[in-house]
Structure 1
């Protein structure tokens, strides 16, 4: 107890407190040491894509009137680089949730292998109790359940379809080429 205040609650450190009680760590969107559950992983991804998309759109709109087009393209490249670094950080936290080293996130940068890594991150089960990377996330709120759940479902289905198309393109390239030639396609003309 501090001072003369006898009504202060004892300070609890995050972690397992015994008898099924866990004190959760406060969540930080930029931490590389915490854990990240499936739904929060999807929700943080969706939020970062929306913010980055809006910033890139702002850069492109400004390039039409206020700033040179080259500066807008450089600004958009910086935004995309920052987005990539942030998304790798989210992957690190998701691996931490499953009790694995965050270095596994490097595999997510390898083309084709990244499909399997992302499916694993979306479908893999996190540790339900405290692991070496800290406490699990607190139960998600309704916004995380709705936005994260819908985005999770969209991503899982997209990854499965992409993997199937890659296998078909690898195993049956002639049939896929014949199908692609039958699809009508018209090249857009002019500038947006």
Structure 2
């Protein structure tokens, strides 16, 4: 334990970090799954991240690739033309 840091302060700070990590985990997984769906891949590909280094690099590659143009099995293209319901004339 570093000098000048009491045990109680370290414990409180470590709990705060853990809560922050847990609070960000679910939204991060949701965004990653949605991005994989844009490229017509299942969210099960996220498990590839469990493989050290190579799995992470492959996932990064999948995330930076352009999505499939037009609708795919997971829904419409998010970059497609806007729906007519939101146009105000």
Mapping 1:32-181, distance limit 5 Å? 69=9, 70-112=11-53, 113-122=55-64, 124-138=65-79
Residue 86 (structure 1) shift: 2.3
CA contact (8 A) 2:39 2:62 kept: no
Residue 115 (structure 1) shift: 1.6
Deviating beyond 3 angstroms after TM superposition, the runs of 4 or more aligned structure 1 residues are none
> How big is the alpha-carbon RMSD for the aligned residues of Structure 1 and Structure 2?
2.2
Residue 109 (structure 1) shift: 3.4
CA contact (8 A) 1:108 1:118 kept: no
Q: TM-score, normalised by structure 1?
A: 0.33
* Higher RCO, Cα 8 Å, sep 6+: 1
The whole-number CA distance in structure 2 between the counterparts of 1:87 and 1:75 is 18
Q: TM-score, normalised by structure 2?
A: 0.64
Structure showing greater Rg: 1
CA contact (8 A) 2:36 2:62 kept: no
The whole-number CA distance in structure 1 between the counterparts of 2:78 and 2:39 is 12
The whole-number CA distance in structure 2 between the counterparts of 1:87 and 1:108 is 13
SS at match of 2:20: helix
Q: Which runs of 5+ in 2 are unaligned?
A: 1-7, 81-89
Residue 118 (structure 1) shift: 0.9
Deviation per residue, 1:93-132 (Å, 9 max, x gap): 111001111111111233212122112221x221111112
The whole-number CA distance in structure 2 between the counterparts of 1:125 and 1:110 is 24
